[in-house]
Amino acid sequence: MFTKKSKTPFLQLAGVLICVLLLTPLTSRAIDLLKAYELALHNNPRHLAQLYDLEASKAYKWEGLSYLLPHLSFSYSKARYDFILAPEYYRNYTSEYYALNLSQPIFNMSYYARYRAMKTKGKMSEYSYEDEENDLRFRVAIAYFNALDAYGGVVLAEKEKDIAKKDLDIATRMFKAGVASKDDVALAESRYDVAVSNMVEAQSEYRAQLSNLESIIGKNVDNLVGLKNDVNFDFSIKTLQYWMDRARISNPKLKYYRENEQYYKYNLKQTIGEQLPSVSFFTTYAHTNSNNYIGTQKTTYKVFGIQVNVPLFDGGNTIASIDEAKYRVKEAMENTRDQERQIINKIKEAFYGVSGDRLKINSLKRAVEAAKIALKGAYKGLKAGTKTIKDVVDNEKNLYEVQKMLLDAKFDFLKNWIALKKYAGDLSDNDIVEINAKYLQHGWYMAGDEGGAGICLEKTYSLY
């Protein structure tokens, strides 16, 4: 009825070979984090839209500068005059006029402030694109690890279901042999049904997370490269103050809001400038053959001079606009303060998450080992008659739960670490390359001996 110890290595080896045969065909179509990011760069609509906005924003500086540069225009007209009723010295004729006009602002505070505002607006678009790049790396990495985490849940759930089915078979045979009760069989049946439910839930979660990743990268995914089993999470993460200072300096969204402040300050200066005198130089080179509707000899002349414009009253529009612009500046300043607080709060959440997850991982590794020992003891006790089916079921449930907790803790650590770098403005393409090489195993995905990668290789204890 019970499996001999001599068969255990053979069964473990068979399990490994089955895992390899089942998972190897998927490996050829697997994508890693770096590939997912490359696909997102070419296919993500939000990223592409921001890229086009960046290209369009390169014109802002020149649009603003155009108000400060010379304006040159040419005009031409030709018209026929046939007089019906006029003094006798009016003669029918064809008029012709053309002129070349040039003007150059000399002093115009409004134009200068507009130039600075448009230049700042272009800088805002640069930071907005930088923030989108930063966010795309973050979204791809989080979606990728969420999908891996969900897949690990599927592997563990399937393992749990298989073991629960074996326990049910054992309980049924023991009941028929008269060494187990109906309650033992009912308990095993209940455990198996729960395991099936967990597997269905895990599969649904995996499909949802995979779909989310596909929506970001714009490509259907067959399989993902999994997490390494021997990942080292014990590295220096520096201090919270370091990350907060980095965020205040480097976070692109915060840079955007600071430039937004400057934009509204220049907008205020522009509005004030519209109420101040302006001075410009102008010159005209013209040719005509008429004067007050009277045909004359062809005349060519040039004019140049200085024009001064002094606004006096425009119905109160400028004064109202100045009041509005002042409050827009205050609004922008408060928005910056609010954004800084939000970012600092995100930094703290991610930092505390990384610190806590690392402690959880170390504790849960010990918990998994302890749960394995307890399960092994329960199986031996069941064989010796000192343990019941309930003891085995309870220990299996506990092992599954701590394995899943460890798996989640590992991915939570990675996601919080990525979030910490993201909100600090330090998440770069090089980080994606490093994470891809350091944390992912470029083979098949398996959930490991500690609830991470490689669960197909995990030692189990069977009564067969």
Q: Do 299 and 354 fall within a single domain?
A: no
DSSP string, 366-422: HHHHHHHHHHHHHHHHHHHTSS-HHHHHHHHHHHHHHHHHHHHHHHHHHHHHHHHHH
Q: Do 408 and 451 fall within a single domain?
A: yes
Q: What is the pLDDT of residue 383?
A: 82
Q: What is the pLDDT of residue 86?
A: 86
What would the pLDDT profile of 369-402 be if each residue is shown by its tens digit? 999 999 899 888 888 888 887 888 888 889 989 9
Q: 26 pLDDT exceeds 50?
A: no
Q: What is the pLDDT of residue 411?
A: 93
What would the pLDDT profile of 49-96 be if each residue is shown by its tens digit? 999 999 999 999 999 999 999 999 999 999 999 999 888 888 899 999
Cα–Cα distance between 271 and 267 in angstroms, integer? 6
Q: 10 pLDDT exceeds 60?
A: no
Q: What is the pLDDT of residue 88?
A: 83
Tokens for 422, please give them: 């993201």
Tokens for 283, please give them: 């010159």
Q: Do 235 and 357 fall within a single domain?
A: yes
Nearest to 396 by CA among 206, 170, 174, 181: 170
Q: What is the pLDDT of residue 324?
A: 95
Q: Do 333 and 242 fall within a single domain?
A: yes
Bigger pLDDT: 28 vs 156: 156
Q: With contact defined as beta carbons under 8 Å apart, do 403 and 361 qualify?
A: no
Residue 163 lies in a domain: yes
Cα–Cα distance between 210 and 220 in angstroms, integer? 9
Considering 286, 310, 334, which residue would you say is the last residue of a domain? 310
Mean pLDDT of the chain: 87
- Give the mean pLDDT of 333-355: 97
Residue 270 lies in a domain: no
Q: Residue 288 — pLDDT band, cuts 50, 70, 90?
A: very high
Q: Do 299 and 220 fall within a single domain?
A: no
Residue 219 lies in a domain: yes
Q: Do 212 and 306 fall within a single domain?
A: no
Q: Do 189 and 88 fall within a single domain?
A: no
Q: Which of 166-170, 235-239, 255-259 has the highest mean pLDDT?
A: 255-259
**Cβ neighbours around 50 below 10 Å, total:** 20
Q: 6 pLDDT exceeds 60?
A: no
**Cβ neighbours around 386 below 10 Å, total:** 11
Q: Do 390 and 369 fall within a single domain?
A: yes
- SS3 of 98, please? strand
Cα–Cα distance between 111 and 276 in angstroms, integer? 11
Tokens for 71, please give them: 């304006």
Report the relative pairing of strands 30-31 and 223-224 from DSSP bridges. Answer: parallel
Tokens for 12, please give them: 């473990």
Bigger pLDDT: 390 vs 123: 123
Here the contacts of 344-350 (C-beta below 8 Å, separation 24 or greater) are 344/244, 344/247, 344/248, 346/419, 346/423, 347/240, 347/243, 347/244, 347/247, 347/420, 347/423, 347/424, 348/240, 348/244, 349/416, 349/419, 350/416, 350/417, 350/419, 350/420, 350/423
Q: 455 pLDDT exceeds 90?
A: no
Cα–Cα distance between 140 and 426 in angstroms, integer? 16
Count up the domains in the chain and report the number. 2
Q: What is the pLDDT of residue 442?
A: 66
Cβ neighbours for 43, distance < 8 A, ≥ 6 positions apart: 217, 218, 219
Q: Residue 456 — pLDDT band, cuts 50, 70, 90?
A: very low
Q: Which of 28-37, 145-154, 258-267 has the highest mean pLDDT?
A: 258-267
Q: 291 pLDDT exceeds 70?
A: yes
Q: Do 231 and 354 fall within a single domain?
A: yes
Cα–Cα distance between 92 and 85 in angstroms, integer? 11
Q: Do 202 and 295 fall within a single domain?
A: no
Of 26-30, 112-116, 131-135, 323-327, the poorest mean pLDDT is in: 26-30
Residue 269 lies in a domain: no
Any idea what the CATH number is for the domain that residue 357 is in? 1.20.1600.10
Q: Do 161 and 49 fall within a single domain?
A: yes
Residue 236 lies in a domain: yes
Measured in whole angstroms, the distance separating CA 229 from the mean position of its chain's CA atoms is 27
DSSP state of 161: H
Q: Residue 174 — pLDDT band, cuts 50, 70, 90?
A: confident
What would the pLDDT profile of 204-217 be if each residue is shown by its tens digit? 999 999 999 999 99
Of 31-45, 47-61, 307-321, 433-447, the poorest mean pLDDT is in: 433-447
Label residue 452 exposed, middle or buried (CB < 10 Å: 0-12, 13-18, 19+): buried
pTM for this entry: 0.81
Q: Do 176 and 227 fall within a single domain?
A: yes
What pairs with residue 347 in β-bridges?
none
Strands (DSSP E) found in 163-262: 223-224
Residues of the domain holding 303: 72-106+277-310
Residue with tokens 């300043």: 333
User: What's the start-to-end Cα distance of the chain, in Å?
Assistant: 7
DSSP state of 5: G
Q: Which residues of 92-106 are buried (b: 16+ CB within 10 A; e: fewer)?
A: ebebeeebeeeeebe
What pairs with residue 93 in β-bridges?
81
Cβ neighbours for 152, distance < 8 A, ≥ 6 positions apart: 226, 227, 404, 407, 411, 445, 447, 451, 452, 453, 455
